[in-house]
């Protein structure tokens, strides 16, 4: 960037001041001590001929073309009300060009909430920079008196710096950000961006902020405690807070920990962006300059919410309910007595207010409106938010708010385990925009209202709004609860089996067959069935649930069974299902696993009901979990373990939708059993990598199957769908066609709005899948590489083959236990189960 008069000393002294009357060209980029600038003596450059009119009275000017920076007095809304500010201007031949209304763009102001009629700025002989209105008292100061300041500099990047005689900054405007970050600016721990209340009202600051804290970057409402609507959690090393920050570098909001740039990318931004601003609507927008039209355009909306605009806290004002179609309503405008009124009838998005304000002196006249399918941004957008009360019923949740004076609303979120009535409860001390969205129907809102004393004790008429579907669900929960309690009187017999002397070390328990019969109520509650055997629900003596897998036809395997159990039992990873125990007694071979409340992944991704459809974040997290689990098996545990049967039926979900890989290690067991048909080919057709037919098997076969599962998760389509016409039956074939036509976005689950909103990320996930499906196994990435890609530390290569060359099968020796494996010429094997789900 060219600097104005960069060859000259570029300083300004008092004697030059008079020259301001002659023109703007003399604004310099630096200034020395003992200088005073009065707005009244600086001529102004006005922009535009409509209103609002902007004008700049420059003191320091730096740069040429766009962006150039002017530090001086700026008026935005009224010709006589000035801020001392830094703004981006367009200069042509060292003069501010006023042809374009796109300027000035204020990126920092000293007196943002206190505009002045006749401001005067002084750089005192002691080195303090002070701002006064006319002859008034000091309204703002950098407090740098006596700190050896020798001058003032406006840098190329728009930073106003007071420096000492070693040229070291003593004070800089970058350390006091307003609502914007310009290219090159940092946000260190403790700093934040705060917008004004509206585009036209500069006198007050919003409660919104983008705050950098020692736990991450959070877009939030600055209440106590803060209400976060966009969290980016970061594990900072325990180093000086100043060395941990994000910086707006060209094209990226980059993360620096311990002053070292971490990873290649943190948040990507179009590289033409020149500044970004947190705006009064909660959006963080990056702006680029359109040199054809000489206008600013939004290059990116950076913190994109999962729930569209409804996910922003101020979209419908306080107490306003945001619905899928973008409307704002008040909590009780559906009939009956209105507790809330719109702040402005013509502008529903300005929110609602309580007709009778809440008063803790009249607790007996307070009640809680129950509103079904109502949710709130804090927990909906932050899977890691901690509830105020965990594992409570909705009645507990409502009571907790009723009894707590500072609570204005409570939200009860059903646990994802529909077999339990335990849920999470969130209490709010301030209520911003609420959400009533189809995809968020698992929570109930309780809004506290004050009845005027004469209508006290009113019944809760809005309870009826709670849908009947919800009602019946709770009935179901109660029935299940009763069943659960009645099956508690079970015992675990945890004794040694005298048949075998081999001991399995570690935490793995040995069960007798009789004890497992008791635990599973004589194998009565079947959870699933498959080629390896059937899986039953059981409850241990301590009340914890387990899944008991009865392996079929392995009765004669003894020593190797114990060896494998030892291996499986010694593997512990959050993304692998834990083996709790086993049983080997005469011909019985059983494995006892931790219970996974949400069952297998196939139930969730191919589910037709949108009520249970997983959102993008959940799907992404599941993919990430599977990758971590497989990475552990392949690369991190003591012995490399190939799974050989990755498919949705073998991915299980816990109550929080954390995914865990199941049935690892079992393939090995089967392998030892030469009587099985799977010796030549094992796994599930369709998920099998091409090299099964010829080459040696490596861990890359799991990578291939993983790729197939990713396709299924992102498209929400089964690998084989016989309800489609023949060319659309086989998902990998459909994928190949879409990829070759360049229409990967057509492949994404089109029933989920959330998936469509996250299309770019979903398409990138499909590129990862394509990488995993490369016909040549050596071109497939390792699981650790995939984890790195998912972490944003690596990119998918561009030279992917979309052929996936899967040679048609002419014959196979593989046979399903019950049925013949059919095959069609155009597609590989059709899905029949060779080895079963749990």
Ligand X SMILES: *[C@@H]1O[C@H](CO)[C@@H](O)[C@H](O)[C@H]1NC(C)=O
Name the residues that contact ligand X, by CB under 6 A: 9, 11, 13, 30, 32, 92-93, 97, 99, 141-143, 151, 153, 155-156, 163, 167, 183, 189-190, 197, 201, 203-204, 214, 234-235, 237-241, 250-251, 257-258, 262-263, 271, 388, 391, 400, 404, 406-407, 422, 427-429
Q: Least Å distance between CB 792 and ligand X?
A: 8
Q: Quote the tokens at residue 833.
A: 């189960």
List helix spans (H) across 312-425.
Answer: 377-380, 394-402
Among 193, 196, 199, which Cα is nearest to 220's? Answer: 193
d(CA 694, CA 697): 9
In the complex, least distance from residue 276 CB atom to ligand X, rounded to whole angstroms: 13
Paired strand residues for 549: 535, 591
Sheet with 129-133: strands ordered across: 35-38, 119-123, 129-133, 138-141
Report H helices in 66-168. Answer: none
Q: Is 737 helix (H, G, I), strand (E, B) or coil?
A: helix
Rounded to a whole number, what is the distance in angstroms from the first to the last CA of the chain? 64
Of residues 190 and 822, the one with the C-beta less far from ligand X = 190
Q: Which is nearer to ligand X, 203 or 750 (CB)?
A: 203
203 or 364: CB nearest ligand X: 203
Residue 324 DSSP code: T
Query: Sign of dihedral through CA atoms 65, 69, 72, 77?
Result: positive
| Cβ-based neighbour number of residue 579 at 10 Å | 26
Q: Which is nearer to ligand X, 62 or 549 (CB)?
A: 62
Residue 182, beta-bridge partner list: 275
CB of 434 to ligand X, least distance (A): 15
Nearest to 804 by CA among 720, 714, 711: 711
Q: How far is the CB of 387 from ligand X (least distance, A)?
A: 11
Could you tell me if 819 and 837 are in contact, meaning their C-beta atoms sit under 8 angstroms apart?
A: no
* Angstrom distances, CA of residue 624 to CA of 16, 175, 658, 765: 63, 37, 10, 11
| Residue 161 beta carbon to ligand X: minimum distance, rounded to whole angstroms | 7
Q: Tokens representing 561?
A: 């069974």
Q: Tell me the Cα Rg of the chain.
A: 33
Binding site annotation covers 549? yes
SS3 content of the chain, % helix, strand, coil (to 5): 25, 30, 50
User: Pick the catalytic residue: 128, 156, 421, 645?
Assistant: 645
Nearer to ligand X, 234 or 809 (CB): 234
Between residues 94 and 764, which has the closer beta carbon with respect to ligand X?
A: 94
What pairs with residue 289 in β-bridges?
296
Place of tokens 């090393």: 237
484: buried, middle or exposed (CB in 10 Å: 19+, 13-18, 0-12)?
Answer: middle
Rounded least distance, CB 251 to ligand X, Å: 6
Q: Which is nearer to ligand X, 334 or 391 (CB)?
A: 391
Smaller CB distance to ligand X: residue 237 or 335? 237
Smaller CB separation from ligand X, 255 or 557: 255
Shortest Cβ distance from residue 258 to ligand X (Å)?
Answer: 4
Residues 6+ apart with CB under 8 A from 627: 706, 783, 786, 787, 790
Report the nearest approach of ligand X to the CB of residue 614 (Å).
22
8 Å CB contact between 423 and 397 = yes
Length of the chain: 838
CB of 555 to ligand X, least distance (A): 37
- In the complex, least distance from residue 435 CB atom to ligand X, rounded to whole angstroms: 19
Contacts of 86 (CB under 8 A, 6+ apart): 69, 70, 71, 106, 107, 108, 109, 154, 158, 160, 173
Residue in 832, 820, 817, 822 with CA at minimum distance from that of residue 551: 817
Active site residue 746: no
Q: Is the Cβ of residue 260 or residue 334 nearer to ligand X in the bound state?
A: 260
At residue 784, φ and ψ (nearest 5 deg) are -70, -35
Interatomic CA distance for residues 586 and 499, integer angstroms = 8
**Angle at CA 242, nearest 5°, toward 236 and 246?**
65
Q: Minimum distance from CB of 400 to ligand X (Å)?
A: 6
Distance CA(617)–CA(359), nearest Å, equals 40
CA distance 576 to 660: 5
Of the pair 654, 749, the CB lying nearest ligand X is at 654
Which burial class, exposed, middle or buried, applies to 727 when counting CB atoms under 10 A from its CB (0-12, 13-18, 19+)?
A: exposed
Going by DSSP bridges, is the β-strand pair 267-268/260-261 parallel, antiparallel, or unpaired?
A: unpaired
Rounded to whole angstroms, what are the CA distances from 815 to 281, 437, 677? Answer: 60, 47, 7
Nearest residue (CB) to ligand X, 167 versus 337: 167
| DSSP character at residue 28 | B
Q: How far is the CB of 213 from ligand X (least distance, A)?
A: 6
Whether 111 and 83 have beta carbons less than 8 Å apart is answered as yes
Q: From CA 376, how far away is CA 381, in angstroms rounded? A: 9
Tell me the residue nearest to ligand X as measured from the CB: 13
Q: What are the φ/ψ torsions at residue 785 (nearest 5 degrees)?
A: -65, -40
CA–CA dist 688, 697 (Å, integer): 11
| Catalytic residue annotation | 645
Detail the residues annotated as belonging to a binding site for ATP: 549
**Which residues participate in the annotated binding site?**
549
């Amino acid at each position: 960037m060219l600097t104005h008069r960069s060859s000259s000393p570029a300083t300004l002294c008092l004697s030059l001041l008079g020259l301001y009357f002659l023109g703007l060209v003399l604004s310099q980029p630096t200034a020395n001590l003992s200088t005073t600038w009065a707005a009244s003596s600086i001529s102004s450059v006005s922009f535009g001929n409509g209103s609002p009119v902007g004008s700049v009275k420059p003191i320091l000017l730096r740069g040429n073309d766009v962006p150039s920076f002017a530090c001086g007095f700026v008026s935005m809304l009224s010709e006589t009300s000035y801020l001392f500010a830094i703004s981006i201007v367009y200069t042509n031949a060292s003069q501010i060009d006023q042809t374009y209304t796109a300027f000035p763009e204020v990126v920092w102001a000293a007196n943002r909430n206190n505009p002045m009629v006749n401001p005067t700025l002084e750089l005192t002989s002691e080195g303090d920079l002070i701002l006064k209105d006319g002859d008034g008292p000091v309204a703002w100061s950098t407090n740098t008196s006596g700190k050896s300041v020798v001058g003032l500099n406006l840098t190329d990047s728009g930073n106003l710096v007071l420096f000492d005689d070693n040229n070291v900054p003593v004070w800089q405007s970058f350390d006091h950000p307003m609502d914007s970050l310009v290219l090159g600016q940092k946000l260190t721990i403790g700093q934040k961006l705060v917008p004004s209340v509206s585009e036209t009202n500069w006198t007050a600051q919003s409660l919104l902020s983008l705050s950098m804290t020692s736990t991450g970057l959070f877009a939030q409402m600055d209440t106590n405690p803060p209400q976060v609507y966009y969290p980016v959690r970061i594990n900072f090393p325990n180093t000086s807070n100043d060395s941990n920050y994000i910086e707006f570098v060209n094209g990226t909001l980059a993360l620096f920990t311990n002053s070292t740039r971490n990873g290649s990318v943190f948040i990507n931004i179009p590289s033409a962006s020149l500044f970004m601003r947190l705006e009064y609507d909660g959006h963080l927008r990056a702006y680029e300059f359109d040199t054809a039209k000489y206008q600013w355009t939004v290059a990116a909306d950076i913190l994109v919410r999962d729930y569209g605009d409804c996910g922003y806290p101020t979209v419908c004002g306080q107490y306003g309910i945001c619905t899928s179609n973008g409307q704002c309503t008040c909590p009780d405008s559906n009939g009956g007595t209105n507790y809330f009124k719109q702040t402005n009838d013509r502008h529903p998005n300005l929110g609602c207010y309580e007709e009778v304000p809440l008063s803790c002196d009249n607790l007996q006249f307070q009640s809680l409106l129950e509103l079904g399918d109502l949710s709130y941004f804090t927990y909906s957008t932050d899977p890691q938010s901690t509830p105020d009360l965990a594992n409570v019923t909705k009645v507990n949740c409502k009571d907790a708010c009723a009894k707590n004076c500072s609570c204005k609303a409570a939200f009860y979120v059903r646990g994802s385990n529909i077999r339990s009535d335990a849920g999470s409860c969130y209490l709010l001390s301030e209520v911003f925009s609420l959400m009533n969205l189809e995809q968020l129907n698992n929570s109930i809102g309780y809004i506290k209202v004050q009845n005027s004393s004469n209508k006290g004790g009113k019944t809760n008429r809005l309870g009826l709004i709670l849908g009947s579907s919800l009602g019946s669900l709770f009935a179901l929960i109660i029935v299940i609860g009763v069943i659960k309690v009645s099956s508690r009187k079970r015992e675990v017999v945890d004794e040694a089996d005298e048949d075998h002397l081999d001991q399995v070390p570690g935490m793995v328990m040995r069960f007798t067959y009789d004890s497992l019969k008791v635990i599973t109520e004589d194998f009565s509650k079947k959870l699933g069935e498959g080629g390896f055997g059937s899986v039953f629900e059981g409850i241990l003596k301590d009340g914890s649930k387990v899944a008991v897998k009865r392996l079929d036809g392995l009765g004669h395997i003894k020593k190797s069974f114990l060896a494998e159990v030892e291996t499986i039992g010694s593997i512990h990873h959050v993304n692998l299902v834990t083996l709790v125990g086993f049983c080997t007694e005469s011909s019985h071979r059983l494995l006892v696993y931790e219970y996974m409340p949400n069952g297998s992944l196939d139930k969730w991704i191919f589910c037709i009901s949108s009520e249970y459809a997983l959102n993008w974040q959940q799907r992404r997290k599941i993919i990430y979990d599977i990758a971590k689990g497989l990475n552990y098996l392949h690369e991190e545990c003591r012995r490399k373990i190939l799974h050989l049967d990755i498919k949705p039926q073998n991915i299980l979900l816990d109550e929080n939708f954390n995914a865990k890989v199941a049935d690892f290690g079992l393939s090995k067991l089967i392998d030892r059993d030469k009587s099985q048909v799977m010796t030549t080919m094992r796994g599930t057709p369709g998920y099998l990598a091409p090299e099964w037919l010829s080459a040696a098997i490596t861990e890359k076969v799991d990578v291939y199957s993983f790729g197939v599962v990713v396709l299924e998760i992102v498209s929400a389509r089964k690998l084989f769908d016989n309800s489609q016409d023949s060319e659309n039956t086989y998902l990998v074939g459909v994928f190949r066609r879409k990829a070759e036509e360049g229409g990967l976005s057509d492949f994404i689950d089109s029933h989920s709005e959330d998936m469509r909103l996250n299309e770019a990320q979903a398409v990138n996930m499909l590129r990862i899948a394509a990488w995993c499906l490369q016909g040549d196994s050596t071109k497939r990435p390792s699981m650790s590489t995939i984890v790195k890609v998912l972490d944003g530390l690596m990119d998918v290569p561009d030279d992917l083959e979309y052929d996936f060359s899967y040679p048609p099968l002419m014959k196979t020796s593989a046979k399903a236990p019950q049925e013949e494996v059919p095959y069609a010429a155009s597609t590989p094997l059709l899905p029949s189960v060779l080895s079963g789900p749990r």
